[in-house]
């Protein structure tokens, strides 16, 4: 039954994405360990930049996983309270546990899904509308 439920499929895909991201996090931790050990063996080697790159990658992946978890909740008709992090029904206007007020459904989804995308999107000048021809 679950196989024919599109929601279940979406949730299973998101879960798969989370698993893959967790695997990448583990690989990064592994790399950080090896870099650190390399420096321990040879103090002349500066691995700070490489380690920071790995740490940034891990932080990004953790954010992306949180994003996927929110989407899974959304598919299940649930959302997390921004205040106490308890699971609430999507329809609730206030958290059943702590009473914190939720935004609209659209705001909730945007807050959880759109934020990381917006952060990476370069700022486009509003005054100029560049006309880019399709052909080269
Ligand atoms: Zn709450």
Identify the DSSP state of 3: G
The answer to whether residues 73 and 65 touch, using CB atoms and an 8 Å cutoff, is no
pLDDT value for 131: 56
Say how many Å lie between the CA of residue 32 and the centre of ligand 1.
Answer: 36
Could you report the per-residue pLDDT of 82-92, keeping only the tens digit for each? 999 999 999 99
Nearest to 25 by CA among 58, 1, 48, 53: 58
Could you report the per-residue pLDDT of 96-127, keeping only the tens digit for each? 999 999 986 556 555 555 444 444 444 444 55
pLDDT value for 124: 47
Residues whose CB is less than 8 angstroms from the CB of residue 76 and which lie 6 or more positions away in sequence, other chains included: 7, 11
The answer to whether residues 95 and 83 touch, using CB atoms and an 8 Å cutoff, is yes
Say how many Å lie between the CA of residue 4 and the centre of ligand 1.
Answer: 33
pLDDT value for 132: 56
pLDDT value for 6: 87
Structural domain boundaries of the chain? 8-76, 78-116
Segment 50-56 shows an average pLDDT of: 97
Say how many Å lie between the CA of residue 100 and the centre of ligand 1.
Answer: 5
């Amino acid at each position: 039954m679950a196989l024919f439920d599109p929601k279940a499929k979406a949730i299973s895909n998101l879960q798969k994405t989370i698993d893959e991201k967790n695997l990448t996090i583990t690989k990064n931790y592994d790399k950080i360990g090896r870099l650190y050990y390399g420096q321990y063996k040879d103090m002349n080697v500066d691995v700070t930049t490489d380690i920071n790159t790995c740490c940034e990658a891990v932080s990004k992946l953790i954010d992306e996983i949180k994003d996927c978890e929110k989407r899974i909740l959304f598919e299940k008709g649930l959302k997390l309270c921004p205040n106490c992090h308890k699971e609430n029904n999507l329809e609730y206007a206030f958290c059943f546990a702590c009473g914190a007020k939720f935004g609209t459904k659209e705001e909730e989804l945007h807050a959880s899904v759109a934020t990381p995308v917006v952060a990476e999107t370069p700022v486009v000048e509003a005054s100029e509308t560049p006309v880019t021809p399709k052909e080269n």
